[in-house]
Chains A and B, each alone.
Chain A
Amino acid sequence: GQNIDQPTEMTATEGAIVQINCTYQTSGFNGLFWYQQHAGEAPTFLSYNVLDGLEEKGRFSSFLSRSKGYSYLLLKELQMKDSASYLCVLNDYKLSFGAGTTVTVRA
């Protein structure tokens, strides 16, 4: 399988910014997804990067560098509802998931 590494946990304050890094080793992939998963719920789509660079969508941005085997998800203006697990997903033919980063937003 693919080696996908992301931090296990991160904590931040409401209104702050948090950056979740994801590094991977793969022989090839079409793109990289980020998914959000609240406790006890199904993962939901956040972003998709095919080309290198930054994709911005409201408070969330995602970056990809294929040459560096690196992606990050940037969460701005954190809200309490952003407390969740964030999953880095390689779009290889079987869609390989990282273990997820649990983000806790504190008041």
Chain B
Amino acid sequence: GAGVSQSPRYKVTKRGQDVALRCDPISGHVSLYWYRQALGQGPEFLTYFNYEAQQDKSGLPNDRFSAERPEGSISTLTIQRTEQRDSAMYRCASSSLTGELFFGEGSRLTVL
């Protein structure tokens, strides 16, 4: 697509539910990144992919968080058994070989 697209833009869920956040990167971009951003803070690295391979997942907070990019394009970040502390803006970005990141509009997750 023309830009990075994320869905849903807003998600409100109850504690204990699973959520899946989707990212559709710019067509042809090799690298895809997931970040989490708290209010007033810079984006915090979660994980990234080159093509379909997950290169680093060291930023994922715990094993309730997982991500996949099975065909090297669309990616899904899944949070199982959500907790209130998971509430944040989740941002996806993709990059070309130059490394410049292009961000989506983000998915605002609220866990009640």
Contact = CB atoms under 8 A, between A and B. Distances in A.
A96 B41 CA distance: 13
Interface string A6-33: 0000000000000000000000001101
Contacts of B56: 93-94
A42 B91 contact: yes
Interface of B: 33, 35, 40-45, 48, 55-56, 58-59, 91, 93, 95, 98-106
B100 A33 contact: yes
Interface size class of A (residues with CB under 8 A): 20 to 34
A51 B37 CA distance: 29
Interface of A: 1, 30-31, 33, 35, 41-45, 48, 85, 87, 89, 91, 93-100, 102
Contacts, number: 58
Given A45-B102, A48-B99, A99-B40, 19 more contacts: A31-B99, A33-B99, A42-B91, A42-B103, A43-B43, A43-B101, A43-B103, A44-B103, A48-B100, A87-B42, A89-B101, A91-B99, A93-B55, A94-B45, A95-B33, A95-B45, A95-B95, A97-B35, A97-B44
Contacts of A100: 40-42
A28 B98 CA distance: 17
Contacts of A91: 99
Contacts of B101: 33, 35, 43, 45, 89, 95
Contacts of B95: 95
